[in-house]
Structure 1
Amino acid sequence: MRMKRYQIWMRMLRHCLSLKWYLLKLKHKRTKMTKNLLTLRLSTLMLTGTFLLSACSTVGKITDAINPFDGKNEASEVVTDPDRISILSLNDKLEVTGSLLPEDIILPEPYTNSDWPQSGGSATHAPQNTNAPGTLDRIWSKKLGKGSNRKGRVIASPVIAGGRLFAIDAANKVTALDAQTGSKLWTYKVKIQSKGKTRRGKKSLVDRIKSPLSLSDKGGSDKEAVGGGVAVADGRVFVTSGFGVIIALDAMSGEEIWRNKTRTPVHSAPAIDNGRLFAVTDDNELFAIDADTGETLWTYQAIVETARMLTAPSPAIIDDVVIAPFSSGEIIALRVQNGGILWQDALSATGNLTPLATLNDIAAGPVIADGYVFVSAQSGSLSAFDLRTGQRVWSQPAGSLGFPLVVGNFLYSITTEGELACMSKTDGTVIWLTQLQVFKKQKKRKKRISWTGPTMIGSRLLLLGSNGKSVEVNPQNGEILRTRKLGGDVYIAPIIANNTVYYVTDDAKVFALK
């Protein structure tokens, strides 16, 4: 009897020891996996810092790492998703292969545009050869409100319509100014009232399924959010916000007309055409909204991607097609009437790259011109697609954070490596390359510079930099014509209206040059 009890006891002890060994092994494995995962997340968060910001008071803890050009983005080895399809080899390098002479680069005549009503200048993001023939002397400047800080960032392009300039600051305050004088006309502060039904407030299982990535709060007035932008159409100012709302305001008075609550923050600037508004949320959901009533017409859910650049890319629209960019690297063409998919593709890179290059985000809106769709992903590629079929026409290793600029038969783009490139629109042949300054401290390779643009100002290309300088370049040969000091660091491309250049600095000052 004693022997039997002893055998049972020893058997139980062996099982316990085996279980303990297994748990220790599992714990070690999970710790290792967690460590690898944290390493990957931290390397990307050092550059993006956005991590699906929701309308709650946690933004201040993470937006201090938003800017990818803050001098902290030294190269490091990270793990990439092996399932992504690379469209370019890692050994590819942008090289001049064209044989055109400067005199062969003939551009269309510049024209004077009276408005710049949405991001990219129009619904197609193809303003062509806008004109600003003056010496670009400052005619006025105005403080909009809060500049970039730990709680929010200035990321949205200003817009102009009907002689008025509209812009949004880092604190989600919309300001209307007289475009000629800079006089303040009205302001509107985007606010929402949280009901405290997030995870900390015991959100229901159904709500968690509907909005699984929302952060938690205890209710009350939300004060911090990042993302969004403004657009103008038909006497209304449309505002998207990191608070998870899309709002229509009266352009003359600033009074609210309607608001549409999305499930997650909206990071894209609104795009508008023929009475329809399109915007993309942080969890890659495209909303189509009736611009008159604010009613949601349809939505499309793309692949959710948590890591993104802090930009405000907007969809591009032409006729019955909307081209939407997503942080997953997807580019999708849909019918504006019902959201039916016409074609889709993905831009991504693979291999051991810097953290910046491993993000698949399409950080700028696509450009539609002459039957082509031009898309630039910051991960390392610039591609041209056939508008109707989605067939890729050409690709170049020229990743960018900004819109490519199409002027006549040529395309201009600033790469993430600080190169300004002129290419053939039809086949992607590189005609010339100009290397811009990459670091503020070039010898020590510190404080990377972000260049925005290019924008045409008649016979010149205009670029603005986060080093507080502007550069004017000859569009025919890439020669740098002039470098000037700005009124502050700039991360947003300039806009043109009535032969005047407008830009917004990172500390939320708007400048007018003529």
Structure 2
Amino acid sequence: MTAKIICAGLLAVMTLTACGEDDIILPGVREPIRPGNAEVNQALPISFAAPQLNSSWTHRNGDADHMFPQPVFSTSPTLAFAVDIGAGDSKSARITADPVVAGGIVYTLDALSRVTATTTGGAPVWSVELTPPTDSRTDASGGGLAFGGGRLFVTTGFGRLTALDPATGGTFWTQDLDAPGTSAPTVSGDLVYVVSRDSTGWAIDTADGRIRYQLGGIPSVSSFSGGAGPAVTSDLAVFPFPSGEVVGVFPQGGIQRWSQIISGDRVGEAVAAISDISGDPVIDGDRVYVGNFSGRTVALDKATGDRIWTAEEGATGPVWPAGGSLFMVNDLNELIRLDAATGTPIWRVALPDFVDNGGWLRSKRTVFAHYGPIMAGNRLVVASSDGQLRSFDPRSGALMSSIAIPGGAASTPAIANGVLYVVNKDGQLLAFR
């Protein structure tokens, strides 16, 4: 026993002696372990089209391809009105639908499947409940909205796609998706495209709700709340699935053109291991941009699906391409600008991440969500759940202005006729002009 104690003591002395030695600093240039850490924020010039006055905003990011011209918006907006639209966020239910605007009406979906139409002046038009007769209103949450062909299309957590009369809220038809349809639908021509949470892609006739075709994706055991919806142009429909699979097909017949898997986690700092595509694909010219939540955003060739580049940045929503750059909020709650040609970061700005509500446990934290960005009025606009509508300089990322969002944002904004509409966590539609 004595010998063991002596050996242990000698080992302790040797350890302390080693700890006391001076570090040997080798000569030479210090290189970062990962190339991404070497980036330096740069204020690079950028040229993009002047803002345009648009009268409608029919999908997330404005249109079916999720690539929208820059809308007009004030550099010093003020709150014009706040009106109730139904149930807000709770422990069991969440607002996942972005507002859409068409024909002077703003359409919203609350956390419990109520659709509301409000004039752009803030007056109520109609409100309709889409909970099936056999279910309780609190049984499901989530869904999305899109407008096209004179109809309003709504997906819900009850696994249904419904076509509504935008003037009255009356139902034209309802299609059962056999699984929650929490991502937003996409309307193009005579078809509405949907991805359900069981990794099924749907193309449904806008007139009568009949199924034109279905696609089966790789199943997934986990998914991002809300999920991503399809992006569609005249010659390509891109379906994002919860597994991280992205499939490009011919829009009318559904014949597959290509398939890609967007996989991979952010090394060392991943906030989640969810493989789900978290931002709707964006089709810009001959490229498709898409990202997952765990740390990857890619540029794909539109014709072949071949990968052009991969950035080690997750995406919490669709990217916004402009002037040879991509703007996005990443998985670390940073607003970043990437070079669209290479995926290389140009600058990044930290957004508020969380607030402690007491204690060191993660469960005691309130994590903030950031919606956008949208390029509007020559600025990047981000709506946040911490209760701020922020505008940033697209050249440098510098904060240019901030205005309070009562209740905190729960949706990506929609902009029409120079007015920004956003839904807050309390279940209100807010308008800024």
**Interval of TM-score (by shorter of Structure 1 and Structure 2):** 0.7 to 0.9
Paired residue for 2:74? 133
Partner of 1:141, secondary structure, is strand
Counterpart-to-counterpart distance in 2, 1:134 and 1:98: 24
In the alignment, the residues of structure 1 paired with residue 118 and residue 38 of structure 2 have an alpha-carbon distance, to the nearest angstrom, of 44
Matched, 1:185 2:125: yes
Distance 1:419 1:92, change over 3 A: farther
CA distance in 2, matches of 1:110, 1:235: 26
Q: Corresponding residue for 2:89?
A: 148
Q: Show CA shifts across 1:193-230 (max 9, x none).
A: 44xxxxxxxxxxxxxxxxxxxxxxxxx66652122211
Q: Structure 2: how far apart are the matches of 1:223 and 1:417?
A: 31
Match of 2:384 among 465, 468, 472: 465
Do 2:265 and 2:296's aligned partners in 1 also have CA atoms closer than 8 Å?
Answer: no
Contact 2:113 2:137 in 1 (8 A): no
Cα pair distance change 1:450/1:92, threshold 3 Å: farther
Structure having the larger proportion of residues in helix = 1
- Tell me if structure 2 keeps the 8 A contact 1:471–1:480: yes
- The aligned counterpart of 1:166 is 107
Shift of 1:106: 1.6
Which residue does 2:422 correspond to in 1?
A: 503
Q: Report deviation, 1:370.
A: 1.6
1:96 aligns with 2:15: no
| Pair 192,372 (structure 1): closer, same or farther in 2 beyond 3 Å | same
1:247 to 162, 170, 173: 162
Unaligned runs of 5+ in 2: 1-32
2:331 aligns with one of 413, 416, 421: 416
Match of residue 333, structure 1, among 248, 261, 264: 248
1:131–1:456 Cα contact (<8 Å) kept: no
Deviation at 1:97, TM superposition (A): 6.5
Shift of 1:355: 7.5
User: In the alignment, does 2:90 pair up with 1:175?
Assistant: no
Change (3 A) 1:239 1:351: closer
Matches within 5 A, 1:344-355: 344-349=259-264
TM-score (norm 1): 0.73
Local SS of the residue matching 2:254: coil
Q: Quote the offset at 1:130 in angstroms.
A: 1.6
* 1:118-146 deviation digits (Å, cap 9, x = unpaired): 22210110124222025211111111001
- Structure 1 residue runs of 5 or longer lacking an equivalent are 1-89, 195-219
Alignment match of 2:199 (pick from 272, 284, 288): 284
Deviation at 1:402, TM superposition (A): 1.0
Partner of residue 281 from structure 2, selected from 363, 366, 390: 366
Decide whether the 8 Å contact of 2:106 with 2:118 is kept in 1. yes
1:116-131 → structure 2 map (5 Å cutoff) = 116-131=57-72
Quickly say closer, same or farther: Cα 1:508–1:95, change in 2 above 3 A.
farther
Alignment check: 8 A CA contact 1:270 1:314 kept: yes
Asked whether 1:157 is paired with 2:104, we answer no
Specify which structure has the bigger relative contact order, considering alpha-carbon pairs within 8 angstroms and separated by 6 or more residues: 1
Given the superposition, is the C-alpha separation of residues 504 and 245 from structure 1 closer, same or farther in structure 2, using an over 3 Å criterion?
same
Query: How many angstroms does 1:93 deviate by?
Result: 3.6
Residue matched to 1:238: 153
1:312 and 1:166 map into 2 onto residues whose CA distance is: 20
Partner of 1:474: 393
Distance 1:381 1:94, change over 3 A: farther
Report 1:211-230 matches (<5 A). Answer: 223-230=138-145
Q: Secondary structure at the match of 1:120?
A: helix
Q: Report the Cα offset of residue 356 of structure 1.
A: 4.0
Task: Specify the code of the residue in structure 1 equivalent to 2:302.
Answer: L
For the residues of structure 2 that align with 1:135 and 1:98, how far apart are their CA atoms? 26
Shift in Å, 1:431: 1.9
| Correspondence for 2:413 | 494
CA RMSD of aligned residues (A): 2.2
Aligned to 1:315: 230
User: Which of 363, 386, 389 is the matching residue for 2:301?
Assistant: 386
User: Contact conserved, 1:311 with 1:364, CA < 8 A, in 2?
Assistant: no
Number of equivalent positions: 397
- Tell me, in whole angstroms, the C-alpha distance in 1 between the residues paired with 2:61 and 2:264: 26
Q: What is the distance in 1 between the residues matched to 2:338 and 2:265? A: 25
SS in 2 for 1:248: strand
> 2:377 and 2:265 mapped to 1: Cα distance?
39
Change (3 A) 1:470 1:377: same
The answer on whether the counterparts of 1:367 and 1:403 sit within 8 Å (CA) in structure 2 is: yes
In the alignment, residue 249 of structure 1 is paired with which amino acid? L
Q: What is the aligned partner in structure 1 of residue 56 from structure 2?
A: 115
Q: Distance in 1 between matches of 2:99 and 2:406?
A: 16
CA distance in 2, matches of 1:435, 1:124: 28
